[in-house]
Chain A
Amino acid sequence: MQISFTLNGRPTIVDVEPATLVAELLREQLNLTGTHIGCDTSQCGACVVHLDGLPVKSCTLLAPALDGATLLTIEGLQGAPGSNRLHPMQEAFREHHGLQCGFCTPGMLMTAVALATERPDLTEADVRHGLEGNICRCTGYQNIVVSVMAGAAAMNAARGE
């Protein structure tokens, strides 16, 4: 079947079998390998993308669900338009050592950006609850939480400019 959607700001039309997962479509057909498949059982959150602005697990989403929707993947996350800068949340993860092996990082970032967007007054408890569906097997949660708090503050500051 043919589906059309907006992918990282660009209109996209693809032919897919209905039995295709969004994570597969992104990685294998569209060559966007930043979205990771960790557990493939919707537990770990490495595959989180934003569907119409909301964080969802792309390993448990069928491609037809994209039809008419807006999809943002880790590749679409960026700093101020026209620059080559990292997104404030990515910058915060780099600054605060919010990653070790990096495998879970794309999902952590996508969930973190959604959290900070939804709640400008984000607390540390919100972050810990909000990251429940993202697993880091390096167990580097402490710095991830610190990074998300810093990234959220930077996003707030950028909004205020």
Chain B
Amino acid sequence: MKPFAYHQPDRIPDAAKLLTSIEDSKLLAGGMTLIPTLKQRLASPPALVDLSRLGHLKGITDDGATITIGAMTPHAVVAASKLVKAKIPGLAALASMIGDPAVRIRGTIGGSVANNDPAADYPAGVLGLGATVVTSTREIAADGFFRGLFETALEPGEIITALRFPMPLKAGYAKFKAPASRYALVGVFVAKFADGVRVAVTGAGSGVFRVPPMEEALSRSFDPSAIAAIRIDTDGLTSDIHAEADYRAHLVTVMAKRAVDAAVS
């Protein structure tokens, strides 16, 4: 690691000010992606702005029609939350499948969503549930937030403070993980609402995406058999040492069926 200055602001505006005033500075949440990146010298920011003193960014609240999860809430807390398990069990299940137990204790929902790794789990849950990304300056709908490979709608100096999830009638997540990294080779989140079904896929391409043909089929019949014959196009899907694009396309259908299974069981 190259040396960096270390800031621990205790107010969001101070954090935002540091982030905009120090060029190339980075926010540090749980550090589960950033610290390995620094160690490999893939990034060498002059300063880190540590968010751990912003205590109010941690925690889960029941808003009635929605659940709000603070950006600094670790995966282990979401996975174990009685509230999340009761209201959106598919989201608690997703959190319990991220990385390994030690990683889940440090890694945060805000960090995962802001980083938008193409194989991360949370972007599938956020897009699949049509959640709202709450930031220091505004609210952004999930459909407009994820912009492809590690890119999001966040502006310079903008900080995610919370994720607000609407309550689905049913939701489930299924993931085929790369055994060494535990990232999703393909992960599919399926959510059924009164006005339709949303299907979001992670790991298969350069960023999380929805699958309209599956959404339409599942809106007619929320059963794994409804999508068994739907194959997604391999155009734009990732081919790498772990899997070819056609295998990933195949896994999308398989994982989508399992996600529906998980949602109804």
Q: Which A residue sits closest to B1, measured CB to CB?
A: A19
Chain B residues whose CB sits within 8 angstroms of the CB of A64 once the complex forms: 6, 8, 50
For B90-117 the 0/1 string (1 means CB < 8 A from A) is 0000000001111101100000000000
B38 in the interface, Cβ–Cβ < 8 Å? yes
Which positions 51-92 of chain A face chain B at CB distance < 8 Å?
54-57, 60-62, 64-65
On whether the beta carbons of B102 and A55 are closer than 8 Å, the reply is yes
On whether the beta carbons of A48 and B6 are closer than 8 Å, the reply is no
On whether the beta carbons of B101 and A1 are closer than 8 Å, the reply is no
A102 in the interface, Cβ–Cβ < 8 Å? no
- Shortest distance from the beta carbon of B85 to any chain A beta carbon, whole Å: 16
Other-chain contact of B101, A41, A55, A60, A62 (Cβ < 8 Å): A55
A33 in the interface, Cβ–Cβ < 8 Å? no
Extra pairs beyond A40-B39, A41-B39, A64-B6 (18, CB < 8 Å):
A17-B3, A18-B6, A21-B35, A21-B39, A41-B36, A42-B36, A48-B102, A56-B105, A57-B103, A60-B31, A61-B106, A62-B6, A65-B52, A111-B102, A129-B101, A133-B99, A133-B100, A133-B102
Chain A residues whose CB sits within 8 angstroms of the CB of B102 once the complex forms: 42, 45, 48, 55-57, 111, 133
List, sorted by A's number, 11 A–B pairs whose CB atoms are closer than 8 Å: A17-B3, A18-B48, A19-B1, A19-B4, A19-B38, A21-B35, A45-B100, A60-B106, A62-B35, A64-B6, A65-B50
- Shortest distance from the beta carbon of B49 to any chain A beta carbon, whole Å: 12
- Shortest distance from the beta carbon of A1 to any chain B beta carbon, whole Å: 6
On whether the beta carbons of B105 and A55 are closer than 8 Å, the reply is yes
On whether the beta carbons of B5 and A61 are closer than 8 Å, the reply is no
**Could you tell me how many residues of chain B have their Cβ less than 8 Å away from some Cβ of chain A?**
28
Q: Which B residue sits closest to A60, measured CB to CB?
A: B35
Please report the C-alpha to C-alpha distance between residue A61 and residue B106 in the assembled complex, in whole angstroms.
9
Chain B residues whose CB sits within 8 angstroms of the CB of A40 once the complex forms: 39
A130 in the interface, Cβ–Cβ < 8 Å? yes
B180 in the interface, Cβ–Cβ < 8 Å? yes
Interface centre among B2, B4, B6 (most CB of A within 10 A): B6
Chain A residues whose CB sits within 8 angstroms of the CB of B181 once the complex forms: 43
Chain B residues whose CB sits within 8 angstroms of the CB of A57 once the complex forms: 102-103, 106
Chain A residues whose CB sits within 8 angstroms of the CB of B43 once the complex forms: none
Please report the C-alpha to C-alpha distance between residue A48 and residue B103 in the assembled complex, in whole angstroms.
11
Please report the C-alpha to C-alpha distance between residue A129 and residue B99 in the assembled complex, in whole angstroms.
12
Q: Chain B: residues with CB nearer than 8 A to chain A? A: 1-6, 8, 28, 31-32, 35-36, 38-39, 48, 50, 52, 76, 99-103, 105-106, 180-182
- Shortest distance from the beta carbon of A82 to any chain B beta carbon, whole Å: 31
A132 in the interface, Cβ–Cβ < 8 Å? yes
On whether the beta carbons of A60 and B32 are closer than 8 Å, the reply is yes
Interface centre among A60, A64, A129, A130 (most CB of B within 10 A): A60
For A1-42 the 0/1 string (1 means CB < 8 A from B) is 100000000000000011101000000000000000000111
- Shortest distance from the beta carbon of A62 to any chain B beta carbon, whole Å: 7
On whether the beta carbons of B105 and A60 are closer than 8 Å, the reply is no
Chain B residues whose CB sits within 8 angstroms of the CB of A111 once the complex forms: 101-102
Chain A residues whose CB sits within 8 angstroms of the CB of B2 once the complex forms: 19
On whether the beta carbons of B105 and A54 are closer than 8 Å, the reply is yes
Please report the C-alpha to C-alpha distance between residue A126 and residue B136 in the assembled complex, in whole angstroms.
39
Check A43/B180 contact, CB under 8 A, given A48-B102, A64-B8, A132-B101: yes
Please report the C-alpha to C-alpha distance between residue A60 and residue B1 in the assembled complex, in whole angstroms.
12
6 shortest A-B CB distances, which residue pairs?
A133-B100, A18-B6, A19-B1, A132-B100, A60-B35, A57-B102
